[in-house]
A and B are shown apart, each in its own frame.
Chain A
């Protein structure tokens, strides 16, 4: 999902689901929401626990980027989760059946738009879970809320469109194979112009060691990261390939709570990795794509045992820097730079030191934000919000507020964020608030610093 103007036009032309499928209203809708909340009784265990465990201490709100941006009652994570929890309590617990509202058990009030808006004001960043003394991860409840929304056909149009386009074309930008091939050639020329060296951006090479899956935004909108990675592979003489059919790890089913489309979207990539007979499926600078591949698909064996390993380009490059296999010239990045930990890389994948090793080896003046790593504040566009232009003001003035403050404090001129959603949100945030900070990827600085 990105902002390439040519591609966007194609995307709009792509056949999308009719926007108005909100057929269910009134008592029927009320019953469906109620039944969906009651169904949590059958598991998963984690949701069942979250329905009963909250001690109402308010720590989550204190740590929530949205509530801290501008507090309203439904932005309070515990209160938002109550939209589901109170219905579950009322119908599925002894205390709720007997005492009702006295113990927080309530029926769904029928205000579906309010329900949708509340769960689409949570960025799913999991920061609350890091601090919750009960170990409650509100993002799990948010995803459940969105799954309920999705089942009833209320998923925000913009996100549904991204999913439809992705299932149709294999990428969230709606680009076709010709566009990918053209882009690869264009990027090769760019590198040749910049560095005076022929660096290949190969695609569809069966038998290549590494099958590389970036987010499509890193090819079409912010290509410097992919150019940097291509230079690294070139320097090391490693055989690698893109796929002209599968070049976007982004998967919005994670955001809308739609497991079925998440798996369907994912399958293309596994099929392609098998077809290309790669040894390694290497995910690019995209946190949620890596999380789905490594911690959801591989762990739960969606497609059985895999004949290749799954790794991330941040781990790869950090590793070869440690081995001393490449030489980086810090003077190519003289300005103050900082690093934004995308929530999915930090809290959900545990990849926090690798990007720092890369940044510090490539830049003369690296500065940390405070707090950082797994305590980092969300960019304000997580959970798919970054793609939603109808909540632009909210993203700029509420959910992105803590992040803006953090970036300001570093006084950096460049902020790296290995995530297309973070990049879009942060770039808009800098523009909206008239800050002179460039947003890019981690391998952007490698592109500039790597000595061929």
Chain B
């Protein structure tokens, strides 16, 4: 089982994710769009339109005007998620030279920032689930998969937090594991013997594989939809 999740599945995950996303973007680009369907106010194209699209995609100003509570929960959720993904770079590799030059203790800093991020995003995810259940107009448009995705995310967050707040987790273990995985030289002795890590990594892979086939793909699609309505 360990061998399956840690030794074989990751290759499928990467292939399914990249091919799936690539295919979806390809069919979107390929689909004909006869003219823009401008929604005003809209800049008249060029750099202004580009910045309007970037702003909408990064700050969600439309949602800010439309539903302030959802905006707060969703925006903090997404920003924290981005920070956590960046933070995960240290799971794969490290930059001791950089930390020395900046004069910081990377381990204690990531313990604090990672801990705060983990708690913050868990609270946001909880709020989003409660909102989906509590508000009729959201509940009546929610399908089973909408709840499943949130539960999956909650499980990933819970196992991640368990590693962060539980007994010390040695990142050197994952670094040598992933570098062996990337160079196709994985041996069973290099597989991290940590059940929490295996579970966390397994759930994350399920989520990543599901992205090209689910609404989570909105992180790419939003640029397409905004381009169609944000150009006069």
Contact = CB atoms under 8 A, between A and B. Distances in A.
Interface of A: 42-46, 48-50, 52-59, 61-63, 67, 71, 73, 76, 78-79, 82, 93-95, 99, 101-104, 126, 129-137, 140, 295-296, 299-300, 346-350, 352, 374-375
8 contacts: A44-B33, A52-B215, A55-B215, A56-B132, A62-B137, A78-B141, A134-B221, A135-B230
Interface residues of B, number: 50
Interface string B190-224: 00000000000000000000000111011001101
A371 to B, nearest CB: 9
A211 B137 CA distance: 48
Interface in B30-89: 31-35, 37-42, 56, 60, 62-63, 65-67, 70, 74
A45 B41 CA distance: 22
A85 B62 CA distance: 23
Contact of B74 (A50, A95, A133, A348): A133
Contacts of A54: 215
Contact of B66 (A52, A62, A300): A62
Given A59-B67, A71-B137, 20 more contacts: A45-B32, A49-B221, A53-B217, A53-B221, A56-B215, A62-B67, A63-B66, A78-B141, A82-B141, A95-B213, A101-B144, A104-B143, A130-B62, A130-B65, A130-B66, A131-B62, A131-B63, A132-B63, A135-B230, A348-B38
B135 interface: yes
Contacts of A43: 31-33
B167 interface: no
Given A45-B28, A58-B135, A95 B214 contact: yes
A46 B225 contact: yes
Closest 7 CB pairs of A and B: A131-B66, A135-B225, A350-B40, A58-B138, A45-B33, A45-B31, A61-B137
Contact of A56 (B39, B63, B66, B142): B142
A123 to B, nearest CB: 15
A66 to B, nearest CB: 12
B20 to A, nearest CB: 9
A59 B31 contact: no
Nearest to B214: A95
A133 to B, nearest CB: 4
Given A52-B217, A102-B143, A134-B218, A350 B232 contact: yes
Contact of A300 (B35, B148, B230): B35
A203 B63 CA distance: 49
A129 B63 CA distance: 10
A59 B56 contact: no
B185 interface: no
B136 interface: yes
B107 interface: no
Nearest to A73: B140
Contacts of B217: 52-53
Contacts of B63: 57, 59, 131-133
A129 B28 CA distance: 20
Contacts of A347: 39-40
A59 B141 CA distance: 11
Nearest to A50: B225
B229 interface: yes
Contacts of B33: 43-46
A49 B145 contact: no
B39 A130 contact: yes
B228 interface: yes
B226 interface: yes
Given A57-B74, A62-B66, A130-B39, A44 B34 contact: yes
Contacts of B141: 56, 58, 61, 76, 78-79, 82
A44 B31 CA distance: 6
Given A54-B215, A56-B142, A76-B140, A44 B66 contact: no
A95 B137 CA distance: 24
Instruction: Give the one of B28, B60, B74, B143 with max A CB within 10 A.
Output: B143
Given A48-B31, A71-B136, A71-B137, A135 B66 contact: no
Contact of B35 (A42, A76, A299): A299
A89 to B, nearest CB: 10
Given A59-B66, A67-B137, A135 B228 contact: yes
A374 B41 CA distance: 7
Contacts of B66: 59, 62-63, 130-132
A388 to B, nearest CB: 24
Given A44-B34, A104-B145, A136 B225 contact: yes
Contact of A45 (B145, B148, B218, B224): B224
Nearest to B224: A49
A195 B226 CA distance: 51
Contacts of A346: 40
Nearest to A71: B137
B143 A49 contact: no
A244 B42 CA distance: 37
Contacts of A348: 38-40
Nearest to A296: B35
Given A52-B215, A56-B215, A103 B145 contact: yes
Nearest to B62: A131
A238 B20 CA distance: 61
Nearest to B148: A102
Given A101-B144, A102-B143, A140-B37, A134 B222 contact: yes
Nearest to B39: A129
B38 A103 contact: no
Nearest to A86: B143
A335 B103 CA distance: 71
Nearest to A371: B65
Contacts of B62: 130-133
A295 B38 contact: yes
A58 B132 CA distance: 9
Contacts of B42: 350
A46 B143 CA distance: 23
Interface in B112-156: 132, 135-138, 140-146, 148
